[in-house]
Structure 1
Amino acid sequence: MKKHIRVVGAVILDKDDKVLCAQRPEGKNLALKWEFPGGKIEDGESASEALIRELDEEMGCRIDVKDKIITTTYEYDFGVVELTTYYSEVISGEIKLYEHVDMKWLKREDIHTLDWAPADIPAIELIASGKKA
């Protein structure tokens, strides 16, 4: 039986309603795929707590977690990922790339043009339309 991994992703919008897209590093699972920044939920942690912690660790910024977008499940060769995405807002700090190799701010309707990690793809259509599941 494959490992079940619960993760969260932050869909951060700037003042122009552009979406933050982050590229995974080489040498890790899903190398160079694009994703919404975030990470694993640790034992005893809520989804919001995990997302706040992960964005602090990965990008050096503090966020406010807003509305849930969608929860999706995708089976990779390394395990089954359950990803929940949330609209989030940067409330302090400046975004830095501690874990990712690149980032882009794209219009909602253009985010589908990147090579996304499969678990993130179901959220793309909802985000592009401004909807939630």
Structure 2
Amino acid sequence: MKINSLIAGICLFFSSLFSCQQKGDFKSVSVEDFSTLIANPEIQRLDVRTVAEYSESHIPKSININVLDKTFAEIADSTLQKDKPVALYCRSGKRSKKAAAILSEKGYVVYDLDKGFEEWKKAGKEIEE
């Protein structure tokens, strides 16, 4: 009985250790690389923050789909084009990685702004209010 508990504990440890790894097939990029990417008009710009956050300020020409919305994947599928890459961001980079994983698993080519909109603003990049 004790061996089974020990094995279960070890399995739980390793599963939690590896569950924090990046999921999905997408690339996280720096502010400079993101800026270069979105200069291409073929790249779709996606803000995955809340409507309130987006309303305060955002990267110009980006659309807003809240990744915390239960229907995020469905809204994204009906709004985005799969044949064009998606460059997405959130406030700090955490939610965007979740969104990037969802979209990349659905077949989109995805680029994630690694440290998010806060880093974008800190770098003095263009924003729209």
User: What is the TM-score when the length of structure 1 is the normalising length?
Assistant: 0.25
User: What is the TM-score when the length of structure 2 is the normalising length?
Assistant: 0.25
Which structure has the bigger radius of gyration?
A: 2
- Structure with bigger strand share is 1
